[in-house]
């Protein structure tokens, strides 16, 4: 079997060039996995011993799939290749060599919970304030230091790091880090980051008897997804392949345009600077896309050209033009969810696309809530990836449990969930006493907590807890669901607990809780839309509305499902139809990415990844208003939409899209899918805005930009009224305008 005959010209070069450094820039859908597999097979065909090959990947699944593919081509010899993730391969080496750096060969590997528990123990030993020293935050800080090859001694001598800790009210972080490392050594344990750090240390401290041994063994080194490597991983790779008597037969495969994991420590400079580290490198660019239609491929090319630091390439495809890109613009995020799910039904019926070939992608996991609710509305099965279903997340269940207990104090399951969260000194032993009392006296746990006499601190804690629930209950009786929920969130201590965790995971949990509160706000406001003074806006009514939503039994786990996931989780996947939702400024790109050009470039690469997941259908969507931390926020469409050439978009004859209005003063590229009609307003007309109360259904109005129109409908209440107005002389005649911000003159 001639492997090279099954490859295109560039792929053949990447596979057959096995001497010296090689860099393969693999665009999306360009056959990267095929090149990796065939290169390994080609090495074995050329007589290279499998144990002389080291192949590093980022997931066990990728390593397993590659081994299976090579085995199919070459045979059982493929299983003798050292193929696996960085952590699994380095752990394997450390098991052999650990005693040389003071660890037993049978060292333990601490997971995240183990690490947090140890850090918590150290915080208590040092008598530090747990409000300032959050175990999650400290663990992230230590992990970041290790990923950047910063040891405890280097940390405490780094004035910049020490100053950062002082500003964050964590001046003893370096002490915790040092004590943490000592305790790990004492326990004969390494955490996940140590598998890298101690590997580097092993090579650094044993250059002759260990490093040279593995340089001699690994004559050929391959690294997949090189753009995702961090500083420490590349430092180890260079130990094996760059310095002194290294064989230098290294092949890296990656795509700088898909570098999206800086929050995990990935360093895009590794791939951008590879040519300067290996000046004699041979570069192969896989630019032919076998996945997507031409409109999708060219849209991706359009977007990525706006990034400053990149390895230039031009992705192309032999596929047909295909369907043009659809753009959905909606008034609210709820409308966005409805429109997207309605269109999914059209994709299924019109194009016969199965559920498993449709994906909704979003910037943050908190956005899944609306899509889940809308998919349930039409009984469309779905599955949330990159995390559990929105309503099954711990932070969501915690707040809902408090709400349930406030509404019904007899709810024992809610009581058990919140009795000691946030921690208030009422542990398992106290709960066991309440359970025993309630069983013996046939009463609720709430009643037991009021009748059973406790001693000391536990007695004071339970009295305070009961007083808080009672106060929340009194407030809820006179407040809207949203106001009551916010009161519960703050008074329960959940707000302080969540805001104290500033790690990436902690921020994500806070976003999820804010999304839930936004949902309750929408519930309150939607009730008001009924214009019914007797509408029930209570917490009890809200719990009733979400009863079916939280019932997971409605979804058949064995059926085909629509995929819901963050774009970060979607990397490496592909679908016939991809919907990218929430394309608004400050959401995507994220408001946290506005500080530097480098962060904005990464957001753009993330959008590039989202686009290139689609084979045949790509739908982009944004809402002009969205609830954010309980407030209705007016949004501008994402700048990324404007970076795609107009010709890539489908323009509906009856409703053409205009992304940026004529008074947009930004420096972003301007996009208008059709030339707007000239609006004729009598120049002698004296424009005087009318009071908001005068704008009612049926009235003729004048807008200085959109011209003359007629009010078709009004939704909302108070200062959040939204008018639907038909303007006769513009390309998008029907517009939704928030009256609080609009300037309209009533004409009759």
Which active-site residues does the annotation give? 32-33, 224-225, 258, 613
Q: What burial class does residue 159 get, using C-beta atoms within 10 Å of its C-beta: 0-12 exposed, 13-18 middle, 19+ buried?
A: exposed
What is the C-alpha to C-alpha distance for residues 346 and 606, in angstroms, rounded to an integer? 27
At 327 the three-state DSSP class reads strand
**Torsion angle in degrees (nearest 10) through CA of 271, 275, 278, 281:** 110
Is the peptide bond preceding residue 422 cis, with omega within 30 degrees of 0? Answer: yes
Cβ-proximal residues to 526 (8 Å cutoff; 6+ apart), any chain: none
Q: Which helix (H) or strand (E) holds 325?
A: none
CB 38 within 8 A of CB 7: yes
Residues 6 or more apart in contact with residue 648 via CB below 8 angstroms: 295, 298, 299, 302, 324, 325
DSSP strand pairing (722-727 vs 734-738): antiparallel
Q: How far apart are CA 133 and CA 491, in angstroms?
A: 22
Distance CA 55, CA 177 (A): 32
The closest of 545, 549, 24 to 275, measured between CA atoms, is 24
Please state, in angstroms and rounded to a whole number, the distance separating the CA atoms of residues 215 and 248. 9
DSSP string, 358-376: EEEEESSGGGHHHHHHHHH
Q: What is the rounded CA–CA span in Å between residue 355 and residue 334?
A: 22
3-state SS, residue 323: coil
**Count of beta carbons in the 10 Å neighbourhood of residue 21:** 22
For residue 589, whether the previous peptide bond is cis, meaning omega lies within 30 degrees of 0, is yes
Task: For 318-417, list the strands marked E by DSSP.
Answer: 326-330, 358-362, 382-384
| N-to-C CA span, the chain | 83
Q: Are strands 82-85 and 53-57 parallel, antiparallel or unpaired?
A: parallel
Q: Which of 734, 730, 736 is nearest to 705 (CA)?
A: 730
Return d(Cα 218, Cα 683) in angstroms, integer: 80
**Strand (E) or helix (H) holding 183:** helix 173-186
Q: How far apart are CA 282 and CA 274, in angstroms?
A: 11
Contact of 357 with 366, CB cutoff 8 Å = no
Distance CA 581, CA 731 (A): 24
Other beta carbons less than 10 A from residue 726's beta carbon: 14
Dihedral, CA of residue 410, residue 487, residue 518 and residue 260, to nearest 10: -100
Q: Helix, strand or coil for residue 689?
A: coil
Task: Give the closest residue to 361 by CA, choosing from 580, 53, 154, 208.
Answer: 580
């Amino acid at each position: 079997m001639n492997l090279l005959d099954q490859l295109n010209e560039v792929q053949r070069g990447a596979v057959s060039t096995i001497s010296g450094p090689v860099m393969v820039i693999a665009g999306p859908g360009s056959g990267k996995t095929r090149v990796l597999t065939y290169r390994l097979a080609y090495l074995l065909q050329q007589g290279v011993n499998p144990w002389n090959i080291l192949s590093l990947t980022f997931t066990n699944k990728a390593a397993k799939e590659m081994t299976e593919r090579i085995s199919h081509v070459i045979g059982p010899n493929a299983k003798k290749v050292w193929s696996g993730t960085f952590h699994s391969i380095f752990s394997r080496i450390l098991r052999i060599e650990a005693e040389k750096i003071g660890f037993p060969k049978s060292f333990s590997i601490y997971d995240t919970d183990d690490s947090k528990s140890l850090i918590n123990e150290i915080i208590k030993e040092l008598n530090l304030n747990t409000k300032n020293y959050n175990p999650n935050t400290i663990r992230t800080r230590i992990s970041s230091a290790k990923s950047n090859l910063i040891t405890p001694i280097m940390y405490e001598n780094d004035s910049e790091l020490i100053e950062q800790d002082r500003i964050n009210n964590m001046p003893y972080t370096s002490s915790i880090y040092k004590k943490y490392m000592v305790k790990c050594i004492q326990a004969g344990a390494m955490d996940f980051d140590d598998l890298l750090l101690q590997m580097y240390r092993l090579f650094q401290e044993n250059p002759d008897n260990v490093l040279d041994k593995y340089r001699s063994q690994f004559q050929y080194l391959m690294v997949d997804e090189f753009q995702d490597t961090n500083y420490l991983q590349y430092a180890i790779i260079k130990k094996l392949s760059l310095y002194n008597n290294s064989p230098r037969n290294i092949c890296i495969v990656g795509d700088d345009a898909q570098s999206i994991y800086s929050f995990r420590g990935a360093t895009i400079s590794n791939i951008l600077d590879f040519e300067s580290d290996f000046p004699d490198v041979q570069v192969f660019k896989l630019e032919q896309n076998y996945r997507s239609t031409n409109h999708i491929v060219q849209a991706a090319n359009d977007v990525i050209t706006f990034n400053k630091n990149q390895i230039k390439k031009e992705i192309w495809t032999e596929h047909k033009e295909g369907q043009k890109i659809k753009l959905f613009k909606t008034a609210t995020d709820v409308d966005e969810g409805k429109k997207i799910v309605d269109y999914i039904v059209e994709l299924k019926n019109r194009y016969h696309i199965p559920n498993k070939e449709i994906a909704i992608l979003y910037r943050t996991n908190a956005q899944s809530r609306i899509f889940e609710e809308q998919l349930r509305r039409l009984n469309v099965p779905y599955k949330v990836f990159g995390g559990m279903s929105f309503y099954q997340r711990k932070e969501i269940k915690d707040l809902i449990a408090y709400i349930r207990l406030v509404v019904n104090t007899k709810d024992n399951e809610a009581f058990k969930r919140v009795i000691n969260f946030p921690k208030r000194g009422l542990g398992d032993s106290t709960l066991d006493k309440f359970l025993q009392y309630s069983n013996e006296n046939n009463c609720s746990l709430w009643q037991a907590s009021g009748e059973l006499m406790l001693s000391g601190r536990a007695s004071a804690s339970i009295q305070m807890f009961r007083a808080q629930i009672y106060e929340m209950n009194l407030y809820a009786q006179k407040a809207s669901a949203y106001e009551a929920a916010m009161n519960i969130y703050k008074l329960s201590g959940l707000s302080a607990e969540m805001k104290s965790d500033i790690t990436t995971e902690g921020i994500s949990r806070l976003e999820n809780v804010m999304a839930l509160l936004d949902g309750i706000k929408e519930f309150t406001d939607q009730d008001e839309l009924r214009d019914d003074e007797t509408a029930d806006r209570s917490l009890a009514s809200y719990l009733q509305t979400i009863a079916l939503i939280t019932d997971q039994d409605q979804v058949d786990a064995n059926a085909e499902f629509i995929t819901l996931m963050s774009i970060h989780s979607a990397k490496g996947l592909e679908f016939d139809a991809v919907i990218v939702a929430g394309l608004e400024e400050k959401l995507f790109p994220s408001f946290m990415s506005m500080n530097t050009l480098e962060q904005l470039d990464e957001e753009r690469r993330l959008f590039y990844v989202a686009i290139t997941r689609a084979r045949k259908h790509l739908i982009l969507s944004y809402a002009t208003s969205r609830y954010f931390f309980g407030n209705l926020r007016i949004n501008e469409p994402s700048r990324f939409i404007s970076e795609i050439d107009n010709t890539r978009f489908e323009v509906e004859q009856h409703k053409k899209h205009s992304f940026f209005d004529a008074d947009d003063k930004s420096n972003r590229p301007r996009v208008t899918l059709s030339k707007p009609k000239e609006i004729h307003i009598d120049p002698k007309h004296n424009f005087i805005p009318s009071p908001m109360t005068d704008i009612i259904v049926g009235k003729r109005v004048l807008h200085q930009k959109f011209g003359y129109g007629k009010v078709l409908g009004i939704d909302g209440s108070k200062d959040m009224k939204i008018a639907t107005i038909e303007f006769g002389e513009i390309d998008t005649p029907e517009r939704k305008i928030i009256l609080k911000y609009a300037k309209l003159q009533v004409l009759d």
